[in-house]
Structure 1
Amino acid sequence: MSVEQAYEVLGRAGELPYGQARTIMVEEALRLAEAAADERLAYRIRHYLRNEYSQSGERAKAFAVFVRCLSDYDRNPELGEEHRLFWGFKGTVTGLTRFPEIPLVRTLAVLDDMERRYRLAGEGLQPVYMCRAVVTQHIHGAEAAEEWYTRWHAAPRTRLSDCEGCDPSSKVAYLGARGRDEDAMALAEPLLRGELGCDEQPQTILTELLPIYLRTGRLDAAVDAHRRAYRAQRDRLSELWGIAVHLEFCARTGNEARGLELLERHLGWLDRAPTPYDGMRFAAAGALLLRRLAEIGHGDVSVRRPAHGDRPAAEVLAADLRAELTREALDLAARFDARNGTPEQGRLVRDLLDAEPLVDHLPLTPYARRAPAPSPAPAPQEDFGGVDDVDRLFDLAEEHWRRREFAAALAAWRRVDAVAGDLSAVQRGRRVDGEGLERLLTGDPQGAIELWRRSAELYAQGGDEESARSATSRYASVLCQAGQAEAGLPLLESTYAWLNSHGADPRRVLAARGRLAAAYGEAGRTDDALALLDAEPAPTEPDDLGDQEMIRARVLGAAGREAELTPVLRRAVGGFRESGQRAVLAEAAFLLGRRLAASEAEEEAAEADALLTEAITNAPVDMAGLRAAAYAVRGGHLLGRGDAARAAEDLVEAVAGFTAEGSHHQAAYARQDLCVAYLETGRYLEAAETAEEALPLFTAHGDADAARRTRYLLANAQRDLGEVDAAAETFTRLAEDERADQPSAAARLLVQAGDLLSRLDKDATAAERFAAAAEASTAAGDPYGTVQALRRRALCVMWSGSAEDGLTAMAGARAALANLPGDEPAALAWETALVDFDEARILGALERFDEAIAGAERAAAAFADLDQKDPAEAAARLRADLIAARSGPADAGS
């Protein structure tokens, strides 16, 4: 066993996120140090381990390690690390209060010992006052802690005070408990402006501010705080207390569905809560959420409880889980109160269990607050209350039907039901026609067929053969649409022939002709369909012209004759504009706008905007899906033209509309574009959350390509959001997906992961990513990518602590230069110069100065020959630094 091994393991642990894997590696480093009998190193590693336990949610283990460190120091003060030791008192004292089995007298004794040691060492007492305030508040309540808070706030900061980000956070928690909301927000302001911070911020202070924002009506700030803080806390068991605050937030803002999602995600953490206090807080917040679900009518939902120990995973009824969580929270509170000799914790838990909503519904995303928008200028509805003439009502209903004003048509038929007495056979046929339309509108085509077949029989009984044929044409058309063309098409042909040859109403003839043409188009008889549409008589009314051209467009589209569609749709839009039929105008404008949005011609792009706007403003309430699609297309169009801010507004509406319609797959694609818009406008949090919402939808639908693209967008959002570890992991997973089929793409993704890890000083892991990138570049036949990745790997190997290994790795990069094509001398010279430059840096670290200086000189000369001024100057500076380092010992000796 060697000390070097302990340092190596400790270094690798530092590249991992807090959690079990990292803790195990630090424990291994301690074992190696103890085996090497290095008492000082073992003592230092124990201080690291205490922090690891705290950060990974194993607070009880942290206490034991702190006691061992304290004992070791008292036995041998020469071990040093006084700062770490004295710092550890704070987390130990405040942590002891969170375990009801630890006697209060012990906590107070440790607190007194802390103050004694601080005084003996001449340290300021601000951290002591902070601990006394926390302990007093836990036992007696916030009001009783006022004196200690005042001392804490007034005392000057010391080197042992919590950092300038965390100290205000603790104070905000106290001020919030005292109801001093404005003081709390004033204290938090510098931190929220980004002037102060650390790894724990701003998520901790944002969580403390959540109830304050709600109480003071700062609702937008509350939403932002919830989203940002939860995102930073959601993967860390040590943040269970914060998860509880977010559960309470959801329960009290009308976001019970979101709260249930969080409860299911974190319920398993309750079985391994960092402290009993955290478990009590989580259980109480979970019980509150389940109470609110019952109060809004969802008390019968089931909650999936994960397996734990011998207990299998199971679906638990919300009511049963609520009773269990309530009992657990109250039992723990009773244990704390018994230990403390006060009723304070029981009071707080009961207040939480009984808490009422502060807001009816606080939307957490822009699209959550948008219900399907009604038409901005809905068509006026006729007041049928004053019409008693049944035939007049039938005429009105059928006119509205023809104009696709379905709500008005149905209202007229309802009026018939209210005022009609005995109806003739023809009148009954007209009424059954309306019932057929209603069935069709509600998604029951078979019901419509049966009813229209019945209306045709009634018309025939009444001697109205023309209406009978027209009704037959309608149900025959639905038969064809339902895949029964063998039955429907002959009926369409015969009814059209009869209507056309018997002098029927021209509009009925045109309608029957259009249905037959559409059926021919669906059957692949494109020429027959187009010939029929061009037959006489031609439409004379603008709405009939619009109808005909829409059918022509569908026939051409089915035949793949896309190039012919634009003028056809233009004629349809013109006809509907002239007739004022808004619903069909919305459809035609959308189809034409979507086509023109794909055009690169500037005038067509501008026209596309206008057409899509026309579709949005004319689509009635019952065409919410078309409106959402128009928003999606217009948003994508704006995004492509570089107007990401306006695109985001449209795409928000698209997501809202598709989601409200239940079109979740279309909503996923709109989210994907919205994520791009958010990225381009610097709204990285929204981008990340939008991508995360879209991913499971693509996965469920089996669209692997869309899922990969969305993960790439997510990685970029994570990177720009500062979630560098997560971004590196996402890039790495993407590379694994791409490696087999797209090795060049995998190489680029691995380089991005390596860049991010290197930025975090996780150089050993970065070196692994660059090595994998080199392999992928070789597989892709990219020798330049191979050289670049190997060179960067060598630097990371050096930075991770082994310059000798870095030099060996750089030899691999130099060997790979031989694979670069000889017909690109400038590129070869550039890559060679970069290898010379970086190799010189490694040689300098090894104090092989003569070789390093020679490499720097070669690099400087090559960069100069390539007219690369900045790199040449950098190489010259490196050479000068190396010369100075080589002569340093001689100068010191003289």
Structure 2
Amino acid sequence: MTGHATRIRSLFDEIDNTPWGPQEQALVAQAVALAQESGDERLEYEARLRQTSSANMSGDTDLMLTSFAWCLAHHDADPEGFPATVEPAGDLLWQYKWMASALGGSPEFSLDQIAAVLDDMEAHYERAGIGPSGVLMARFEDAWAAGRLDEATDLQRRLEATPRDDYSHCDACVRSQFAGFFIETGREDDAIRLVGEMIENGFSCGEEPEHALSRILLPYLRAGMFDDARTAHLRSYRLAKDNPDNLAIVAKNVVFCAVTGNEARALALVERHLPWLVHDGLNADAHATALGAFALALDAVAAAGHPELTVRGSDADALVPVFGAHDGPWRVDELAATAWRAAGDIAAAFDRRNGTDAHTRNLERLRETGAERYDVPIRTHDFSAVATPAPAVTREERLARAVALAQAGSSAAIAPLRELLTDAAPAERVTLSSHLLGGLVATDRLDEAEAFLPERIAALREAGHAAQAELEERLGLVLFGKDLAEAGDLLRAEVAAAADAPTDVRADLLQTLGVARLYEGGFAEAREDARTAARLFAEAGEAVRAQGAQVLEVDAAASASLFDEAREVVAELLAAPLSDGRRARVLAARARLQGGAGEFESGAADADETVRLLLSLGADDVRVGEAFLLAGALHEDAGSASLAAGRYRSAAERFESAGAPTAETRYRLGRALLASEMPQEALDALHEALQEETAAEVPAGSRAITVALLARAYEGARDYGNAVGAWGFAADLYEEAGEAEGQAQALVQQGRHLGNFGEFDDAVLAFDTAIGLIGDREDQVGVLAEALHLLAQAKMQRGDEDAFDVIDQALALGRANEAHWYVADVLDTRARLLAGRERTEEAVATALQAADGFAEAGDPGSGAGSELLAARLLVGVDRAADAVLLYRSAVDHATEGGNDPLRQQAALELGDVYEGLGRHAEAAEIRATTSA
């Protein structure tokens, strides 16, 4: 085998074991290029078979068609040299099924071209001896997409009567497609039934069940199945949101948000997925679907009272071919109208090609859907995150806005500062140039800063600040924040030599030295430098610059744990006239101080006001995201998890928009959503956090924490199958990180679920492993106790002889640690184990012991369960009369403990016992209590 062939085969192995996505696409492209370079057409054939599948899954229609055509030409010319099926590369005839749909998705292809592909597909299938199912499905999809509904109905019926074969669509796809067709033709009940069967049986494939779930959202709503609709939306969007080929699926989820009162979430989804409108130039059908959905959602946002909001990202250059050029982001109401027009243009082009009015009618039906309203709150977004800055019209307004942004530390100040400098007076140029250089350095645009510095120095000289100009010539960008961690000695020398310098120059040096000292950890010294700088600036008549030094003093004092002193300066600052930008910084500082003092509610209020100020200024996404993150943390500490979730969500979206990491924020979001009893929403956030952590190769121990919380979210969503897998994954990650206690905790939780599923062998293995990890750890006694108890239960289910030994270990551990409730619970388990071994007398006595233990621990409701067990055991050995008092006690204790289901069950059983004893009046009396 040649070197090229060896490398290509190695790439094939890597491709076949890599999930669909950018990494896999890059590997495929590399394999095709190497095969072309080698001149080996058979290897290129195998590479292109993979490329066709890859392009189909990623939504690159142009590449898919090109790759398929190359393969088909080689197969037709030499079927033996280029066979239709090459495992595991792909199956050319299976790939044929995607071609007509791809051509039909763009009005650039004529009906004759589509028909020719379908006829050619049928001829190839017949020559290969393949049944008609695959071709019939392709013809059905074509007729339905073109609006030939009578033809599509006939083909759908023929498909139902046609035997399946190896080239039939999978069960998931068939049900999804038929469900979509039934919805369009007025058979929503049938669609709900089909999708229900699909979900119940776990059918899935490349884009299922997310596609089917998105199709069924509106039928669920119209049928009043709100919980099903909500769950379907959350799952569908979670599965679809990362692949641009799923644009139509996302569009249906956007419509769901728009008609269910979740307009803020709808807007967030629109902003996130706008770039997908230009992902696949030949998928015009999906573009029309998305444009209509986005327009409907924006109309809903406007109707909710926010037509003036701007749609972030709508002014991207890539979107100009879709919406046209625009000065800045589009307003909600403007973009809605533009999107409707764009969707209408595409629909008209399809209808001209197809000779029907299907696409236009679909768009009209979508508009009608916009009038539907259902109350299905998702509670993950609100409009507090999307305030629009008031327009700054005059130069004075623009100047005030730019300076405020700079004082807020926002990079959004840079562009307006540059613009204002073009016609600024000398004194104004000094102020603006200082802010500009500070912004450029803070954003690591050092080349630009170096290039601008001479202009700044010239402005200083022109304004009569020769000493400051000389200082900046010597120190350069250090005075604006560059390399301050290493500049302490240099700045101390400059301060010592500047005794006779002008007051404002000495103040500037001291303020800069104060920042350098923060890097060095000299917090008290930094505070003194900042205080002196503030005093000197005030003496020089520079009140605004004095405030800046005071902000530094607050930070330094807080770092030195001088919290009262920091609060005093904050109060002084907030009592003075401040720009909104500087007020935002001071409020954020006060919020952190309040958080440190446990004053979480007032801190959260300050953080929320910080957010409002930054949004009103139009600050950059990172700065706004940081403020949202602070507000979320304080609301979470205050016990307001749902409020925290909204802030964290907004922070994550801002960070994502800026290309900044979001994993930590999404983890916090998932935690807050879980605490807010929104586990489905938490799953979405935690999956995204884990995905980002994995891509960033975050250490295993950190990822384990995320996966463990993900497992908790699965539990909250009652998805226990995935919870088992998540706990196992967490255990593996903890093991990789060498964290035995975390591994043990994860294994115990995994084992619990395995036991509930009846997988007792695997459960015992998990518990034994956990106990082996932490059996001698005094600080893990709680985990050990839980593991021993669950192990005893699993062994009891298996009938293991040593189950009693494990029970006794658990009891000894509980008694040694005076864990009274735990001891009672283990005694209850021991009673059940004894009952299973037909040691009834011992079982009854032990159950009553457990009941007494629960009562002493203040849990009569659980004690009622032990009494009910004892009563049943007595009935089982024909001692019904003896059981009466225990049933009575169980009813009373269940009532006292608020355990109504157990009270009902005990009362019903007691009624049967009374009946058997001939005590009919008492039977009627106790039974009457069950319906009270």
TM-score range, shorter chain: 0.5 to 0.7
- Map 1:680-695 to 2 at 5 A: 680-695=675-690
Residue 484 of structure 2: aligned partner: 481
Moved more, 478-487 or 820-829: 820-829
Q: Which amino acid aligns with 2:589?
A: L
CA distance in 1 between partners of 2:713 and 2:742 (Å): 19
CA distance in 2 between partners of 1:696 and 1:854 (Å): 56
Q: Deviations over 1:187-222 (max 9, x none)?
A: 445788x8996233799676336468799999x999
For the Cα contact (< 8 Å) 1:171–1:184, is it kept in 2? no
Residue 586 of structure 2: aligned partner: 588
Q: Deviations over 1:433-463 (max 9, x none)?
A: 7875675466334654675466546866997
Alignment partner of 1:807 is 2:804 = no
Q: Deviations over 1:576-623 (max 9, x none)?
A: xx13x12222112112212213432xxx43432332122112223344
Alignment partner of 1:730 is 2:726 = yes
Q: TM-score, normalized by length of structure 2?
A: 0.53
Moved more, 823-832 or 673-682: 823-832
- Map 1:235-246 to 2 at 5 A: 246=246
How much does 1:727 deviate? 0.8
Residue 862 of structure 1: aligned partner: 849
Alignment partner of 1:465 is 2:466 = yes
From 870, 877, 880, the counterpart of 1:883 = 877
Residue 553 of structure 2: aligned partner: 552
CA distance in 2 between partners of 1:138 and 1:429 (Å): 68
For the Cα contact (< 8 Å) 1:477–1:488, is it kept in 2? no
Residue 382 of structure 1: aligned partner: 395
Cα distance, 1:535–1:630 mapped onto 2, change above 3 Å: closer
How much does 1:723 deviate? 2.7
2:423 is paired with a residue whose SS is helix
Q: Which amino acid aligns with 2:667?
A: Q
Cα distance, 1:778–1:874 mapped onto 2, change above 3 Å: farther
CA distance in 2 between partners of 1:400 and 1:106 (Å): 68
Q: Which amino acid aligns with 1:813?
A: I
How much does 1:653 deviate? 1.0
- Map 1:545-694 to 2 at 5 A: 545-557=546-558, 559=560, 561=562, 564-575=565-576, 578-579=577-578, 581-600=579-598, 604-619=599-614, 620-664=617-661, 667-694=662-689
Cα distance, 1:432–1:255 mapped onto 2, change above 3 Å: closer
How much does 1:671 deviate? 0.8
Residue 900 of structure 2: aligned partner: none
- Map 1:341-360 to 2 at 5 A: none
Alignment partner of 1:174 is 2:174 = no
For the Cα contact (< 8 Å) 1:655–1:671, is it kept in 2? yes
Alignment partner of 1:499 is 2:502 = yes
CA distance in 1 between partners of 2:803 and 2:702 (Å): 37
From 375, 394, 411, the counterpart of 2:419 = 411
How much does 1:655 deviate? 0.5
How much does 1:675 deviate? 0.5
How much does 1:853 deviate? 1.2
Cα distance, 1:562–1:612 mapped onto 2, change above 3 Å: same
CA distance in 1 between partners of 2:462 and 2:139 (Å): 92
For the Cα contact (< 8 Å) 2:171–2:203, is it kept in 1? no
How much does 1:750 deviate? 2.6
1:498 is paired with a residue whose SS is coil
Taking only the aligned residue pairs, the percentage that are identical comes to 17
Residue 707 of structure 1: aligned partner: 703
Q: Which amino acid aligns with 1:872?
A: S
Cα distance, 1:206–1:528 mapped onto 2, change above 3 Å: closer
CA distance in 2 between partners of 1:189 and 1:222 (Å): 11
Residue 834 of structure 1: aligned partner: 828
1:807 is paired with a residue whose SS is coil
Q: Which amino acid aligns with 2:423?
A: R
CA distance in 2 between partners of 1:98 and 1:838 (Å): 66
From 766, 791, 794, the counterpart of 1:793 = 791
How much does 1:550 deviate? 1.0
2:501 is paired with a residue whose SS is helix
Moved more, 558-567 or 459-468: 459-468
Cα distance, 1:206–1:734 mapped onto 2, change above 3 Å: closer
How much does 1:559 deviate? 4.6
Cα distance, 1:461–1:491 mapped onto 2, change above 3 Å: farther
Residue 529 of structure 2: aligned partner: 529
- Map 1:422-461 to 2 at 5 A: 436=437, 439-440=440-441, 443-445=444-446, 448=449, 451-452=452-453, 455-456=456-457
CA distance in 2 between partners of 1:772 and 1:512 (Å): 62
Rg comparison, structure with higher value? 1
How much does 1:427 deviate? 11
For the Cα contact (< 8 Å) 2:727–2:746, is it kept in 1? yes
| Count of residues paired in the alignment | 627
Cα distance, 1:672–1:436 mapped onto 2, change above 3 Å: closer
- Map 1:1-150 to 2 at 5 A: 143=150, 146=153
CA distance in 2 between partners of 1:764 and 1:655 (Å): 42
Q: Deviations over 1:18-60 (max 9, x none)?
A: xxxxxxxxxxxxxxxxxxxxxxxxxxxxxxxxxxxxxxxxxx9
For the Cα contact (< 8 Å) 1:668–1:694, is it kept in 2? yes
CA distance in 2 between partners of 1:823 and 1:532 (Å): 58
For the Cα contact (< 8 Å) 2:645–2:672, is it kept in 1? yes
Alignment partner of 1:207 is 2:211 = yes
Cα distance, 1:683–1:552 mapped onto 2, change above 3 Å: same
CA distance in 1 between partners of 2:467 and 2:711 (Å): 65
Q: Which amino acid aligns with 1:644?
A: A
Moved more, 815-824 or 540-549: 815-824
Alignment partner of 1:198 is 2:196 = no
How much does 1:628 deviate? 1.0
CA distance in 2 between partners of 1:825 and 1:780 (Å): 17
CA distance in 1 between partners of 2:485 and 2:782 (Å): 58
CA distance in 1 between partners of 2:606 and 2:407 (Å): 23
For the Cα contact (< 8 Å) 2:518–2:556, is it kept in 1? yes
Cα distance, 1:230–1:551 mapped onto 2, change above 3 Å: closer
CA distance in 1 between partners of 2:879 and 2:447 (Å): 90
Q: Deviations over 1:484-522 (max 9, x none)?
A: 44444444554573213xxxxxx6665555345445655
Moved more, 244-253 or 697-706: 244-253
For the Cα contact (< 8 Å) 1:691–1:714, is it kept in 2? yes
Alignment partner of 1:764 is 2:761 = yes
CA distance in 1 between partners of 2:847 and 2:219 (Å): 64
How much does 1:138 deviate? 9.1
CA distance in 2 between partners of 1:858 and 1:725 (Å): 37
For the Cα contact (< 8 Å) 1:477–1:516, is it kept in 2? no
For the Cα contact (< 8 Å) 2:555–2:589, is it kept in 1? no
Q: Which amino acid aligns with 2:624?
A: R
How much does 1:429 deviate? 8.9
Q: TM-score, normalized by length of structure 1?
A: 0.55
CA distance in 2 between partners of 1:871 and 1:445 (Å): 71
How much does 1:695 deviate? 1.8
Q: Deviations over 1:720-754 (max 9, x none)?
A: 22331221122233334556966555444333222
How much does 1:380 deviate? 5.5
From 185, 191, 201, the counterpart of 2:188 = 185
Gaps of 5+ in 1: 1-59, 61-96, 112-130, 154-165, 235-242, 265-283, 299-346, 360-364, 386-392, 501-506, 844-848, 887-894
2:639 is paired with a residue whose SS is coil
